[in-house]
Amino acid sequence: MPALTAREVGRRALDPAIRDRALERLARATLKPQVNLWSPSGVALGGAGLAIMCAEFDGRFAGEGWDAAAHGLLAAGLDEVSDPARPLALFSGAVGYAAAVWLASRGGARYTSLLASLDAVLLPRMRAFALAPPSGPASYDTVNGMAGWAGYLLSRGRSAEIDRVAGPVADALAAVLRPDGRNRMSYRLGGAARLDYGLAHGLAGPLAALALLEIHGGTGRPGVPEALLGAGRWLAGQATWRSGCLLWPATVELGARGDPLVRDPVENAGSWCHGSSGIARAVHLAGVATGSPELVDVAVTAMHTLCAHPPEIHSPNLCHGLAGQLALLLGFARETGDPRLKAAAADLAARLSGGFRPGSLLGYTDVELPGTETDNPGLLRGSAGVAAALLAADPAAPPAPGWARLLLLA
């Protein structure tokens, strides 16, 4: 069963001796040493990410010590996150740590003093940033920017303090989704402005984030529904048919007015970070938020084609691997009730669970490139994320795990 595999994988990631050995191996073998660095307060590869995993297991298996493990991990990250220069990022910054504390708090019943201290420091910083964001994708995307804050703000629920941040964030995201704002998310390559489409670093991130803010309570901000519908239609219109699949290109060259000029010749298939599955999820959420059957149909059609022609995915992780594809399918299946998507999610969960290797250090290895496998215990690219996805796939799991909201999936 997926839950039993998830439990074993989670326990291995939490074992300090196993984790230290894995991190030593990762440092020697990784092709991305600048990315794969352990951070006590980090979500991608760090203590906060493992605490998020623990929060999910604690909700399902209370009394097994998952809450105590989360407490120790959060305590170890407190000094790092207290640095006033710590960035406001989901995966490598203070917002991600705050999200981990909230998810481990059992709805605010625990860590009340710590949450109040974090609020006092972070919420004013977040509001000030949202009122005057610098240009560039890092201000708006999911990994580093304001789109990555949406899941945390939504998890906290409605309050005057949260709404004072969520309102300006919604305004900033709506602005970058409009035709005259898309260049704010572009980057320069060979003298041209290029826009990433993906959920992690591209336009799909702000689209999904704003849609979720609108779905769960409504932003009440003028122009938000129009921005969502316009950007959703624009992004849906960039998909093309290839080899039986409805796919999006990785990037596009933008004109001065935000119009697409030259498409990237590479169409991406399944993955959370850059792939068409993640983009389809953003389009679907925009359709739900605006009541647009047209957008919902495009997104579901794209997922149907990817289920009929499964993409080649080498790694098991959440970022660009099988666990991320599973999380996307679970979200689609839950909300649409579509039998094909439900069956595809069940098949993928069985495949991912069947990939467990008892003799390996963590149970799963990250495949950075074909032929390069690493022992990564992290949430985003490692075994902790696989454990979280497997637990979410179990029939007895709650419908929308907290980490899925952080990834803009629920």
Binding residue ranges for Zn(2+) = 273, 319-320
**Residues, the chain:** 410
Two structure tokens written together for 82: 């207290």
Identify residue 391 by its one-letter amino acid code: L
Two structure tokens written together for 79: 């000094």
d(CA 227, CA 82): 36
Do residues 269 and 320 make contact, with C-beta atoms less than 8 angstroms apart?
no
d(CA 204, CA 195): 11
Do residues 213 and 154 make contact, with C-beta atoms less than 8 angstroms apart?
yes
Two structure tokens written together for 348: 């993928």
Strand partners, 314: none
d(CA 220, CA 213): 10
Residue 226, SS3 per DSSP: helix
Which residues line the annotated binding site?
273, 319-320
Alpha helices in 254-321 (DSSP H): 276-290, 293-308
Do residues 70 and 62 make contact, with C-beta atoms less than 8 angstroms apart?
no
Residue 268, SS3 per DSSP: strand
Identify residue 258 by its one-letter amino acid code: G
